[in-house]
Structures are given as structure tokens and as C-alpha cells.
Structure 1
């Protein structure tokens, strides 16, 4: 069933009215944490596309998606990442014009991308935050060794400039569990967290709208 048409139309209209009438803005950057099985299941990617349209409808500008590939065997992880990358690239063609995307593999390398104007989707296939920070530090060390950067000039802003994702998510969504994954470790330090026990294959349109409404009701403290 299409996620966009699933649920209770009257209640959906009520939620949409609450969201659009709220004086608080909707999140600009949403991070979504999934398992590889969520997308490999029947209509898993179709549901993801529908979710992206919902976020876009409510003025989200960037959706960062981390696909947690749980298999320990590296060849298997590589095969899964390749399969998902190919499927996502074919499916993202159906996203509205003006939508850009970037799909990155296990080592953070860009597998495919498209420029966009008003909406961007970033997908990390198993490349987590610890690896991202390690790569950023290694890159800075090379610049120091080459004499391009002085050690005393290394600071937080420089590290952030070497990260793959420069933007901090407003809210991180984890379905089907109560634990965060290794994703956007640096960027998410002040992000709002939203956990739901509902597995991804059971997430409905109204569930995603509730996330947006919940975000609007929170008072962000940014670590204070």
C-alpha cells in the first residue's frame, strides 16, 4: 500500500493543519536511521520514497539516511551496499525535479549523485560517523605534514570542514529500536532524538507527521 495514501485522511488533515499553523518551523534537516533489511524487504524502498515526499511537503530541505548494514562479513557487506546503491539510484529517478541526491558507499565514496535546487537526499550505505571523523582527522594530518596547515590552526571548524556532511540534523529518527547507530556522531551532538518501537515496514504517513509535530513542540536547548 502506498504510504502517501495510507492511514486516516481526516486525522492526516488535522495533523497537517497543526503543522502548517504552528509558529515553530519544521525541521530543515532530518536524519533517518534504517537497517539494510528495511530497504531489502518488499516495498521498502518504495516506502522510503514516499517518506521523502512527506518530508519535502513539510519544508524539510535535507534528509540524511544511514543504512546500518549489520553483516560482519566484509564481502557480504560490500555486496549488500552495491545492491542497495543500484536500487536506490534507479528509484531516485522518480523523485520530483529539483531534488538532488548523493549515495555513498562503505568507505564514504560517492557512488552516484545528482544536483538539486530545493531538496537534497544523502544516503550513507554503512559508512558511519566514527569512520567519517577518522578520515577527516587523517586528511588534516596530511595537510599538516605537507605544510599547508599549522598544528595550532587545527580547530573544530577545520575538522567540520573535512566532514562529508556539513549540516547538523535538527532531529534524528530511529524506528524499530531504542539505540542510535554510528551516524553523524559529530554533527548530531545537539540534535533532537526521536525513537519509535514501530518497525520501518509498519511506519505510516501519520507517524512521520507526528515526528514533525513533536519536533515543533520541543524546546531545543543546544546542550545548555
Structure 2
């Protein structure tokens, strides 16, 4: 057995112990930013499923996942989204009972849904934050035009109620990079940011534990 093979399990147990000591400071909502190529990798979907199970074990309540679709051709983009949706549905069937999920397509419409109250997973396949805000604004404008909403009633809370994800992430995790996407632009304004030093295909349990432990050690200022 080499030194690393011995050290990682020990380090995992140490991080788990440290996290458990401050269990009241576990992030409630975790957001993960991926690329389409991360999930087309043979182990990419399985890694996502295991990641969700790890967060659930540590009592995280919500995980939002954004998959950046790099294809620009509409037909290719639709094919990629359809393929990823099928892969996700197949693997999500192995998630623990009580897990609910919603998978959104590039148009912001729900492509797949499963009920659950204990643990919620939102997956956006190429539908970014700017599109989400624009859609919410247009919906509110239609309601004002129809007379169901008065102009003076429009405020931040109303806009938030029209977003796909109404929960603010505590931490945004991006693997193998230093750039964020436009995922949850409105909701993540005060979120903590965490960048792993490895790409998604190389993310291990210890990397997820390090992200949670790093979050616990930060003093959140919420923009102040």
C-alpha cells in the first residue's frame, strides 16, 4: 500500500469528524456547476449520483446542478439535452427514497420530475440565470398586462417567486476552474464560492468534504 492510499481514508475520517463537530453549520443548499462533457464521461453521471448521496448523508437539503451545454446548433443541443435527461433519470432512480428532483431543459420547462420531501435536486440543462430572470420578468409583464398584478405590486419578492429555483445557495462549487457560469445569478449574489483543484472526473469524496469544511470555517458577510 502506497502512502496516498493510506492517507486519503485517514484524511476523510478527519474531515468527517471536523464537519460533525459543527453540524449546525452545514450548508443547506449546495449548487454545482458542470459542463456537458463532465456527464458524458462514463463515470460522470455516477459521480454526480454519489455526490448527491454524500450531501444527503450530511443533511444538505437542496442541491442545484447546472450543466453548461456547449453546443450552439439547436438540433445538436436538443439531442444532447435529451441524452443527458435519459442518463440522469436512469441514475436518479437509485437515489434514496424521499429524494425529489426536477430536470429543466434549455427552455426552462420541466422535462422530468419526481416527488420527494427529504432531499431536493434541481438540474438545469443549459438554462442559465439570465434566461431565468428574463423569463420571470416577461411572465410578470404578462400578468400586469392581464390586470392580475398591479404595477406597484411588483417587487423583489414577486420576481423571486417566478424564478425556477426559489432557494439561495449557501455555496457554489465549480470543479477544475476559476470561472462561474450565469447559473442562479439572482439567487447566488451572497453565496460562498468554492473551486476544486481537480476536474469533475477526478473529484473524490475528500474534495466534497473539503468544500463543506471550508464553508464551515468561513464567516459569511452577505455582502457587508
1:107-159 Cα shifts (integer Å, max 9, x gaps): 01111111112101110000000000000000000000011111111110110
Q: How does 1:57-96 map to 2 (within 5 A)?
A: 57-96=57-96
- Cross-structure match for 1:175: 175
Q: How does 1:114-193 map to 2 (within 5 A)?
A: 114-193=114-193
Instruction: State TM-score, norm by structure 1.
Output: 0.95
Say which SS state the counterpart of residue 173 (structure 1) adopts.
strand
* Alignment partners' CA distance in 2, 1:195 and 1:13: 22
Contact 2:104 2:112 in 1 (8 A): yes
* Alignment partners' CA distance in 1, 2:99 and 2:149: 36
Q: 1:7 to 1:200 in 2, by over 3 A?
A: farther
- Cross-structure match for 1:13: 13
Which stretch of structure 1 is more off in the superposition, 135-144 or 16-25?
Answer: 16-25
Q: CA RMSD in A?
A: 1.5
Matched, 1:108 2:108: yes
* Alignment partners' CA distance in 1, 2:176 and 2:75: 26
Runs of 4+ in structure 1 off by over 4 angstroms are none
Contact 1:7 1:205 in 2 (8 A): no
Aligned residue pairs total 220
* Alignment partners' CA distance in 2, 1:82 and 1:118: 27
- Cross-structure match for 1:3: none
- Residue segments in structure 2 that go unaligned for 5+ positions in a row: 1-5
Q: 1:91 to 1:23 in 2, by over 3 A?
A: closer
* Alignment partners' CA distance in 1, 2:127 and 2:16: 34
Instruction: State TM-score, norm by structure 2.
Output: 0.95
